[in-house]
């Protein structure tokens, strides 16, 4: 089961907090994935197609709870994609027009309502239920192990803009993108996705996303530390190679025996331990020396070599 299907299955088991929540959720499901047909004289019919059993189950459950409507269900199998397609048909019925007006899908004497039905969204719980229904009907969420991305596909610019405003009421920042005659309302922020899932009632899924985020953060932290260590080792190795080359030149020009004891000790230790950092090399000294002390010995050797080169040039 995909992560989207898991979220929708969890949402299908969430109950509304007030009687109006069911109307809000059913309105959103019907509006987003339903097709409304009109045959004159107020004769309407609806077809709702979905590949998610949880959506079909919720649609039929709410329709039967709220209205006395016939809702024949057809289940079709796709051999090519190995999926099921659920088709719910609400045929022409005397009371259907009034029910659609009650759901805010039709405006009396005006046809299909262009935006979200504000009359159904008088309380915060109804807003959450409407958004839950919209996501169940047209939503997608990527597996958080790969990327953080959630979106809802809808039709109608006024409706899409209205859903974005509902997201804002829930504290979620969403963006709108036009796609070949439809609109995609999408969220890519981890925090916003967790906030939205929690608001819709998918608390278990929100926790799953949060757990993945923690694992990703841990892996990223480990990778940063490893990369930093590799970079430090590379710099240390390069510096050690330069120091060994300088020691070889100093031995020819100055001679190790002519150097001060501390500097001669550094040269001998560095040549014997080309892979050690300055801090580790300092622990080999007698007595042990700090990293700062070892660095000053490198600078002192550089000065001696500079003075030797200057003397050679004067001659």
Kindly indicate the confidence band of residue 220, based on its pLDDT and cuts at 50, 70 and 90.
confident
User: In the chain, pLDDT over 70 holds for what percent of residues?
Assistant: 93
Give exposure, 141-154, as e/b (b: 16+ Cβ within 10 Å): bbebeeebebbbbb
Whole-angstrom CA distances from 14 to 54, 64, 152 are 11, 17, 19
pLDDT confidence of residue 257: 84
Q: Which of 94-98, 117-121, 144-148 has the highest mean pLDDT?
A: 117-121
User: In the chain, pLDDT over 90 holds for what percent of residues?
Assistant: 38
pLDDT confidence of residue 241: 85
- Can you tell me the distance from the alpha carbon of 104 to that of 118, in angstroms, rounded to the nearest whole number? 8
Model pTM score: 0.69
pLDDT confidence of residue 26: 95
pLDDT confidence of residue 80: 60
| CATH numbers and ranges of domains, the chain | 3-201 (3.10.28.10), 237-310 (no CATH)
pLDDT confidence of residue 81: 57
Alpha helices in 80-202 (DSSP H): 96-102, 124-138, 157-169, 190-200
Please report where in the chains the tokens 């169940």 appear, as a residue.
136
Per DSSP, the three-state class of 185 is: strand
Kindly indicate the confidence band of residue 102, based on its pLDDT and cuts at 50, 70 and 90.
very high
Count of CB atoms situated within 10 Å of the CB of 189: 15
149, pLDDT greater than 70: yes
pLDDT per residue over 14-38, tens digit each?
Answer: 999 999 999 999 999 999 988 888 8
DSSP string, 213-262: HHHHHHHHHHHHHHHHHHHHHHHHHHHHHHHHHHHHHHHHHT-GGGS-HH
- List the beta bridge partners of residue 47: 35, 89
pLDDT confidence of residue 211: 86
> What number is the average pLDDT over the span 5-15?
93
* All residues at 6 or more sequence positions from 47 whose CB lies less than 8 Å from its CB, including other chains: 34, 35, 37, 87, 88, 89, 90
Provide the sign of the torsion angle of the four alpha carbons 155, 53, 4, 11, taken in this order: positive
* All residues at 6 or more sequence positions from 267 whose CB lies less than 8 Å from its CB, including other chains: 247, 250, 251, 256, 259, 301
175, pLDDT greater than 90: yes
| Mean pLDDT rounded to a whole number for the chain | 87
pLDDT confidence of residue 314: 53
- Can you tell me the distance from the alpha carbon of 253 to that of 305, in angstroms, rounded to the nearest whole number? 8
Stronger pLDDT, 216 or 208, i.e. the higher one? 208
- Can you tell me the distance from the alpha carbon of 194 to that of 191, in angstroms, rounded to the nearest whole number? 5
Cα–Cα–Cα angle for 10, 50, 88, rounded to 5 degrees: 110
Whole-angstrom CA distances from 218 to 7, 205, 214 are 25, 20, 6
The radius of gyration computed from the CA coordinates of the chain, to the nearest angstrom, equals 35
């Amino acid at each position: 089961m995909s992560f989207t299907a898991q979220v929708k299955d969890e949402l299908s088991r969430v109950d509304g907090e007030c009687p109006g929540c069911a109307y809000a959720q059913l309105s959103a499901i019907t509006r987003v994935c339903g097709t409304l047909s009109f045959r004159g004289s107020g004769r309407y019919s609806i077809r709702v197609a979905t590949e998610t059993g949880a959506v079909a189950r919720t649609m039929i459950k709410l329709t039967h709870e709220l209205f006395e409507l016939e809702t024949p269900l057809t289940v079709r199998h796709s051999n090519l994609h190995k999926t099921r397609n659920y088709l719910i048909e609400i045929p022409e019925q005397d009371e259907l027009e009034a029910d659609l007006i009650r759901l805010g899908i039709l405006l009396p004497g005006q046809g299909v309502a262009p935006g979200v039905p504000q009359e159904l969204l008088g309380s915060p719980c109804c807003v959450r239920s409407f958004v839950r229904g919209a996501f169940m009907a047209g939503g997608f969420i990527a597996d958080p192990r790969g990327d953080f991305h959630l979106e809802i596909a809808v039709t109608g610019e006024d409706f899409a803009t209205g859903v974005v405003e509902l997201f804002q009421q829930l504290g979620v920042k969403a963006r709108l993108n036009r796609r070949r005659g439809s609109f995609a309302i999408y969220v890519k922020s981890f925090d916003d996705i967790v906030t939205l899932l929690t608001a819709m009632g998918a608390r278990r899924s929100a926790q799953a996303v949060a757990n993945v985020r923690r694992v990703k953060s841990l892996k990223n932290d480990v990778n940063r530390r490893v990369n930093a260590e590799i970079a430090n080792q590379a710099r240390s190795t390069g510096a050690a190679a330069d120091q060994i080359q300088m020691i070889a030149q100093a031995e020819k020009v100055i001679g190790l025996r002519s150097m001060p004891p501390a500097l001669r000790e550094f040269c001998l230790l560095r040549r014997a331990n080309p892979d050690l950092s300055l801090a580790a090399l300092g622990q080999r000294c007698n007595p042990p020396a700090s990293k700062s002390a070892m660095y000053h010995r490198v600078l002192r050797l550089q000065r001696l070599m500079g003075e030797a080169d200057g003397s050679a040039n004067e001659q």
